[in-house]
């Protein structure tokens, strides 16, 4: 996630949305039979692709924010999701001074770093054969999803593949030595593989990786 250099604010994304609606600067979302504006809360996170917001924003690690709040990075028995670090968004909506982590995909920079680590660890390097899968909810192909095969060196480009909205739902080495999993309701990507690979991910300075013993 990212935090603005100007510092913390109490204004939330939901409050900002309602102020814009009241001022006529935004149009309400209308679904027949449902008052979406009255019955929902604007969380403030992206869905799918995300990346560094640009000047004025700095990286904010989960561990850093958890220390501030005196909370665990991820509560026991849970997965990283919009419910995590609730002390930063007790109403459900994040403050506008923080760009919270996206759901369903790693941010662009973390995806690139993950690929770099996988290339460095894999004996075949960039030529390692792998398979990527975009699930039905992501690809819109509700019968089968979309499956793509190719060398690991080209995997960074999958982030902008027209069948997806960021990192693939799953990607795995053809020899089944590792697999990644990005879920639409989660704010992190799970990687399963040998201990040496997991340790390499945890040691990568541009990644924030945590081992959850209950996963």
Q: In angstroms, rounded to a whole number, what is the distance separating the alpha carbons of residues 81 and 84?
A: 5
Q: Cα separations (Å) of 146 from 15, 62, 127, 179? A: 38, 32, 22, 17
| Residue 215: per-residue pLDDT | 72
**Which whole number is the average pLDDT over 104-133?**
97
The pLDDT of residue 40 is 86
Cross-strand partners of 59: 2
- CB distance 38 to 127 below 8 Å: no
Joined together, the tokens standing for residue 87 give 């002390």
Let me know if 200 is exposed, middle or buried by CB neighbors in 10 A (0-12, 13-18, 19+). Answer: middle
Give the side-chain half-sphere CA count within 13 A for 1. Answer: 31
182 contacts 166 by C-beta, under 8 angstroms? yes
Residue range 152-163, pLDDT digits in tens: 999 999 999 999
Q: For residues 203 and 119, is the Cβ–Cβ distance under 8 A?
A: no
d(CA 107, CA 101): 8
What pLDDT digit, counting tens, does each position of 154-196 carry? 999 999 999 989 999 999 999 999 999 999 889 999 999 999 9
**Can you say how many angstroms the Cα of residue 115 is from the centroid of all Cα atoms in its chain?**
15
Q: CA-CA distance, 155 to 64, in Å (whole number)?
A: 30
């Amino acid at each position: 996630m990212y935090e603005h250099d100007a510092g913390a604010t109490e204004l939330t994304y939901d409050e900002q949305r309602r102020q814009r609606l009241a001022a006529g600067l935004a149009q309400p979302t209308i679904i027949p039979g449902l008052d979406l504006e009255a019955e929902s809360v604007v969380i403030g996170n992206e869905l799918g692709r995300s990346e560094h917001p640009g000047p004025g924003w700095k990286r904010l690690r989960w561990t850093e924010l958890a220390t501030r709040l005196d909370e665990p990075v991820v509560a026991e028995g849970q997965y990283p999701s919009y419910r995590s670090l609730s002390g930063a968004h007790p109403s459900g909506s994040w403050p506008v001074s923080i760009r919270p982590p996206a759901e369903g995909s790693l941010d662009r920079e973390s995806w690139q770093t993950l690929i770099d680590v996988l290339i460095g660890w894999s004996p075949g390097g960039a030529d390692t054969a792998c398979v990527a899968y975009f699930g039905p909810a992501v690809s819109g192909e509700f019968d089968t999803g979309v499956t793509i095969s190719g060398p690991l060196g080209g995997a960074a480009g999958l982030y902008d593949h027209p069948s997806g909205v960021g990192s693939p739902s799953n990607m795995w080495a053809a020899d089944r030595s590792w697999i990644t999993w990005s879920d639409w309701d989660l704010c992190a990507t799970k990687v399963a593989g040998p201990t040496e690979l997991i340790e390499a991910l945890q040691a990568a300075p541009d990644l924030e990786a945590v081992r959850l013993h209950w996963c």
